[in-house]
Amino acid sequence: QQHGLFHGGVVGYLVDNAAAIAAGTLLRPGEDLLSAEFKVNYLRPAKAAALVAEARVIKPGRRITVVSCAVFGWDEEDFPAASVALAEEHQVAAGLATIAILPARQA
């Protein structure tokens, strides 16, 4: 996007996907999932070389799982140091997602 910023839709897509991956770690054999809802709070312009998402399941459930997600800007000088902590001052968005758990199909 203009001015070197990530488009808000890209940030939202990252929240949705990171939340689904986090929820997917709790699936039982045969279950599937889909996003039922997600929201994003944009905290500051996403002006960075890359974006990194950190998602955590905050309420697992049999049919609905809730996941929080933080998106951080990652600048070029951060790339060589893989151990660089994701600092609050680099957070560009906070998200909350509701993931629907689909039961295994009966054969």
What is the H or E stretch that residue 98 is in?
A: strand 91-102
Banded model confidence at residue 23, pLDDT cuts 50, 70, 90: very high
Banded model confidence at residue 75, pLDDT cuts 50, 70, 90: confident
Domain boundaries, the chain: 2-102
Q: What pLDDT, in 10s, does the model give residues 78-96? A: 555 544 556 666 899 999 9
Least confident of 48-52, 62-66, 101-105: 48-52
What is the per-residue pLDDT for 83?
Answer: 45
Q: Supply the CATH classification number for the domain 2-102.
A: 3.10.129.10
Q: What is the 3-state secondary structure (H, E, C) of 18-81?
A: HHHHHHHCCCCCCCEEEEEEEEEEECCCCCCCEEEEEEEEEECCCCEEEEEEEEEEECHHHCCC
Measured between its terminal Cα atoms, the distance across the chain in Å is 48
